[in-house]
Chains A and B, each alone.
Chain A
Amino acid sequence: MTHGQTEDDRELNQLAMEAKQYPDRSYERRRILNRLANKIFQSPKLHRPHCDSLPPAISEDLYREALNITVMEICKKIDKYDSSRDVLGWVNFLLKNRFIDLLRKWKNMPSLDEIDPIGSEPDPSASADLKQWIEADPDGFFTRKHIKKNPKATFQFIVLARIWEDRKWEDISAELNISNSTLCEFYKQQLRELKPYFKDFLAN
């Protein structure tokens, strides 16, 4: 295998060597690994393992995942880089093997359904149920606490305004005469406290 044939090869090799010189988890090493990873991802000399018996989209997807795994592996094992060889040789070797690993796993697993972000249907009845439960507040959870001096400023008021009425923080802040940040902190803290009750409700 010839060594450092092109400008790109030499740059990759030099980056890898330099990374090794700095301690693990140091800023200097991280900065170099960042650039090394970018260059590997962009390299025109990456091999492109593929599987002809798969639909091209799936093969392409597995290839890209294999590339992700390869780059991460190289970053984590940079101390093992052998400077008498080309980084790209190491990359392509790992790439081929990781692709084969993924292929094997994929054949044994049901495929992931394609997910369409626009088509993902919200569940209007779930939303209505949740809203109703919060409004009715049978156990008093959502009105149990309020921001001091302002009994209207309960979790119930804020969540209904934010989620179902789509109101901005500034708007709610103006109505209740409480600062944005106090409102938001209260909302988040209450949400944490009420989590167990929401978990139960959402599970049913």
Chain B
Amino acid sequence: MNANRMKEPLTFSVPLAREAKRRVQERLKQKHLTDRHARQVYVNALSTYAVEYYLECMGFEVDRTGSDSADRVIREFTDVADVMVRSIGKFECRPVLAGDRAVSVPLEVRCDRQGYFAVQLNADFTEATILGFLKKVTAAEVPLEEWRSLDDFLQYASHLESSHQLSQWLHHVFEAGWETAEAVLSPPRMVWRSGSTAAVSWRSPTSGGAIERVKRLKLERAEDEVALLVRLSPKLDAEMGIGVEVYPTGDRTYLPQDLKLMVLDEDGIAVMQAEARSTKNIQLKFSGEPGEGFSIKVALGETSITEAFTI
């Protein structure tokens, strides 16, 4: 391997042919509000096509109907060009035209994305080059020089793929297997709610208001199935309060005897532990910062299940 080549930032180029055109045609079928809007939909469609193609070549699972930009109404009223990757979340794919020196990233897409791609389109729209990647964008225009190698993206995304993304929960994006408490636990528990949607006033989901989900964990025997509840409580100082609770499922009132619940840090070392002895539930509470990783391990005898999370 030529050592010099390793230092060049990694990019990815793809021809835009029939499939790309088909995507564009699908999205331009709607009536448009303005001329500028139609042009934006056109270039956004090509950008998202290029990134979806890249992600699939790299072996990521793309959910073509799960993105905002696949939704006609959202496309009509916001400038979105995102792709949805299973187990990870949404990535924004901002087009940049030949001759532009900076990439425009509108406010509408600067919050609930796992990352951003800069996708350069050539003058006759026959080729797209994914020039770079950023995890976070806080400005409306980002100069080309600031975008980083796709190597950063591959490393970041491969890591995210293997853990549950709690930051996505704040935007109501949940992976399969995570259900509401009402759906899994019976009888229904008294659950503190963050603010009914019937209220006239609206509060941002990230300012107070806990979000919780439950996952069924099947241990060795069917009667040992338990429900793992994870509750996120955003705090004022950007830290996240995490509550972890384990309940029996079905008609059972008590947890299996000697069931253990552990919280592991990023290195896999147990930092908290609780054990069930004729109890109805066990719980642990801690807090962490966005980006931190941890795991939850539920063990009974020889069997254990570990779920990895990134805050």
Contacts and interface: CB of A to CB of B under 8 A. Distances in A.
Interface residues of B, number: 59
Interface string A84-126: 0000000000000000001000000000110101101111001
Contacts of B18: 61-62, 65, 102, 112
Contact of B12 (A29, A34, A147): A34
Interface in B109-158: 111, 125-126, 150-151, 154-155, 158
**Per DSSP, are chain A's interface residues mostly helix, strand or loop, or mixed?**
helix
Nearest to A181: B111
Contacts of A181: 107, 111
B32 A189 contact: no
Interface string B1-23: 10001000011111111110110
Bin the interface of chain A by size: 35 or more
Contacts of B56: 72
B57 A25 contact: no
Nearest to B59: A25
A65 B17 contact: yes
A195 B10 contact: no
Given A120-B32, A202-B72, A182 B204 contact: yes
B19 A65 contact: yes
A192 B171 CA distance: 12
B76 interface: yes
Contact of A31 (B53, B151, B201): B151
Given A31-B10, A67-B15, A202 B202 contact: no
Interface of B: 1, 5, 10-19, 21-22, 24-25, 28, 30-35, 37-39, 42-43, 53, 56-60, 71-74, 76-78, 107-108, 111, 125-126, 150-151, 154-155, 158-159, 161, 200-205
Given A72-B57, A122-B33, A185-B111, A163 B14 contact: no
Contacts of A164: 33
Contacts of B21: 61, 112, 115
